[in-house]
Structures are given as C-alpha cells and as structure tokens.
C-alpha cells in the first residue's frame, strides 16, 4: 500500500473493530492481502492485521458450518470437500492458484467484492450468511452486503464468520467457471444447487458471477425449476431467464454478448448434469 503509515496487530475481533473505527476510511482490515496489495488504495494509511485475532477457524457450529473471518481459502476448501457435489470446494479452489489459497481468505474474497469472485456464487447458492461485527454483532445475508464492483455495505464492520446452513449436506450442486486459463479471472462463473424431494426439485438456487455489478441470484430461472420433476423443466426457458436477469459488460476478457450467452449455457449444462446424476466436481 503506497501510503501506509501504521501497521496494527489486534489480538481479538473486538479490538480489530475498535482500531478500524478509530481511523475510519484511512484504515483497512488485512488478512491475506492478495487483493489489497494489488489495488493498493491510496487513501489507506493504516493496516489492521486480523490474522492474530483468533478468526482462522473452520468448524461445525451445530446449525451451521462456520468459516472464520481469517480462515484461509485452502483450509475452507478442505473442510467442505464433498459437500453439495463438491461445489463449494471447487469454487474455493478456482478462486486462486494453490500458493495464493494458502494465504488468501474466504472473507477477503467476499469483502473485495469483485463481480467475478469465484467463491461468491457458490456461497449464494447455499444461502450463506455473514456474522459481522461493528458496534454490535449482526447476522446478515451475503447478498445484502454486496453493492457493486469493490463496494459493500460493510463500512467499519468486520466479517467475523461466514455461516453455511447444515442443509448443505442434503444439497446437490455444481460450480462452473469459464475463463481464458484455469487461474485467470472468470469471464462467467455460476453455481447451481437444489434438494431432491422425491421426484421433484426443491429449494433451487442459481447464482451467476461476472455478469452484473455483483454476483446475483437468477431468481427468474430458479422459479422455472422449483417444484418440477427434472424431465418437466423447460431448459430453453431457463436459459433465457438467466440471460434476462443479468447485465454484463464488455471488457478485454469477454464481450457482453458472449457473457450473456454463456451464462445461460453454463446454467443449462449444470442442470443437465445434475438431472443426469453426473456431478463430477470438475469445472465446465
């Protein structure tokens, strides 16, 4: 960070928040730093290092699977292996090469608020919530924190935990990422999950990234799948609903038209694989 003047190392989450509040916008929470050290925001003068604030855990919290605010991507990837057709583990893995996953954090990937963040669609697809700490502790939906590219509603609040409902163990799911190379930022990414209820598909979640200012739920497409038998789902309509619910841009990685087309195609392929029982844990 080009104008860094102070480096602080709090011993608890509460102390970290107090430090951040003291300096306001001039301070930033530092964990892995893999995004922060790339962007190097010029207004940041104080780094509040949370790696020693006892937030590096991943554990079974009873009703939830809990990922601490300083838990590494690699640790989280290992902890969720096999869940939801390996959807979460694959999303965490595709976020960065393994060297970076051994220093970067899941919470940092959320707080950076990149529209193409790979972990976010998968977390949206399992109804993840955040436990955030400011003047008080609050539990908020992940979707309510994301505002736009590198913009959130967090302010001085710290992501203390990411909480994934235990219903994740009953979900089937797939994560797919389209990129120019395996380690590149996504042109499009998406996650689909649902619960089998007899012969019907229930509690459907479809989330797409890199196609709007934030990763978003494709609620129109979800409604076309919800409560239906797989054979009765009109995949043409689902694909169109995905495209109708997004607002991609053109940049040097892909055109808006390509992103729109491929978002629908990837969701269609994911559903086809799930309906056929072909979850592979491999990116499409």
Q: What is the pLDDT of residues 233-242, one digit of tens each?
A: 999 999 999 9
Closest to 15 in 3D by CA, of 27, 2, 32: 27
CATH number of 6-49: 3.30.43
More reliable by pLDDT, 283 or 245: 245
CA separation, residue 164 to residues 6, 76, 88, 128, 260 (Å): 35, 12, 10, 5, 29
Identify the DSSP state of 34.
Answer: T
User: What's the predicted TM-score (pTM) here?
Assistant: 0.93
pLDDT at 1 over 80: no
The pLDDT tens digits of the residues spanning 168-227 come to: 999 999 999 999 987 789 999 999 999 999 899 999 999 999 999 999 999 999 999 999
User: What gap in Å lies between CA 256 and CA 10, rounded to an integer?
Assistant: 43
Instruction: Report the CATH superfamily, name and number, of domain 169-275.
Output: CO dehydrogenase flavoprotein, C-terminal domain (3.30.390.50)
CA distance linking residue 120 with residue 106, whole number of Å? 9
At residue 283, the pLDDT reads 38
Instruction: Select from 64, 82, 209 the least CA-distant residue to 139.
Output: 64
At 68-99, the pLDDT tens digits run 999 999 999 999 999 999 999 999 999 988 88
Please state, in angstroms and rounded to a whole number, the distance separating the CA atoms of residues 126 and 87: 10
Specify the domain boundaries for CATH 3.30.465.10 within the chain: 58-167
Q: Provide φ and ψ at 144, rounded to 5°.
A: -80, -10
Q: What percent of the chain has a predicted confidence (pLDDT) above 90? A: 86
Alpha-carbon dihedral of residues 231, 206, 58, 148, nearest 10 degrees? 170
pLDDT in tens, 161-175: 999 999 999 999 999
Name the strands in the sheet holding 216-217, side by side, starting at the edge strand that comes first in the sequence.
Answer: 171-178, 188-197, 200-209, 216-217
For residue 119, the model assigns a pLDDT of 96
In the predicted model, is pLDDT for residue 282 greater than 80? no
Q: What residues are paired with 207 via a beta bridge?
A: 191, 217
Q: List C-alpha distances in Å: 127 to 122, 142, 193.
A: 9, 8, 10
Q: What is the mean pLDDT of the chain?
A: 94
Report the pLDDT value the prediction gives residue 278, as an integer from 0 to 100. 67
Summarize pLDDT for 28-58 with one digit per residue, the tens. 999 988 888 777 788 899 999 999 999 999 9
According to CATH, where is 3.30.390.50 located in the chain? 169-275
Delimit the CATH 3.30.43 region(s) of the chain.
Answer: 6-49
Fold of 58-167: 3.30.465
pLDDT band at 280 (very low <50, low <70, confident <90, very high): low
Cα separation, 255 vs 215, in Å, equals 17
pLDDT for the residue 284: 36
């Amino acid at each position: 960070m080009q104008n860094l003047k102070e480096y602080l190392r709090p011993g608890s989450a509460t102390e970290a928040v107090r430090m951040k509040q003291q300096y306001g916008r001039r301070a930033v929470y530092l964990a892995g730093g893999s995004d922060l050290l790339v962007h190097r925001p010029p207004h940041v003068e104080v780094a509040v290092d949370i790696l020693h604030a006892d937030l590096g855990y991943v554990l079974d919290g009873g009703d939830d699977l809990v990922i601490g605010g300083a838990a590494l991507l690699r640790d989280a990837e290992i902890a969720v292996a096999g869940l939801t057709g390996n959807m979460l583990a694959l999303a965490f893995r595709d976020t960065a090469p393994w060297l970076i996953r051994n220093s970067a954090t899941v919470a940092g990937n959320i707080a950076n608020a990149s529209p193409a963040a790979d972990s976010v669609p998968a977390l949206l697809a399992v109804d993840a919530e955040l436990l955030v700490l400011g003047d008080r502790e609050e539990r908020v939906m992940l979707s309510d924190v994301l505002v736009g590219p590198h913009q959130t509603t967090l302010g001085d609040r710290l992501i203390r935990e990411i909480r994934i409902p235990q219903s994740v163990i009953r979900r089937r799911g797939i994560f797919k990422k389209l990129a120019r190379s395996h380690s590149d930022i996504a042109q499009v990414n998406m996650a689909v999950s649902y619960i089998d209820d007899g012969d019907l598909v229930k509690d459907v979640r479809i989330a797409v990234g890199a196609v709007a200012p934030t990763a978003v739920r494709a609620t129109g497409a979800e409604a076309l799948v919800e409560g239906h038998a797989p054979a009765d789902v009109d995949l043409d309509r689902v694909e169109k609903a995905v495209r109708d619910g997004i607002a991609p841009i053109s940049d040097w990685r892909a055109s808006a038209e390509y992103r729109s087309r491929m978002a629908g195609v990837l969701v269609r392929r994911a559903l086809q694989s799930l309906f056929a029982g072909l979850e592979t844990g491999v990116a499409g």
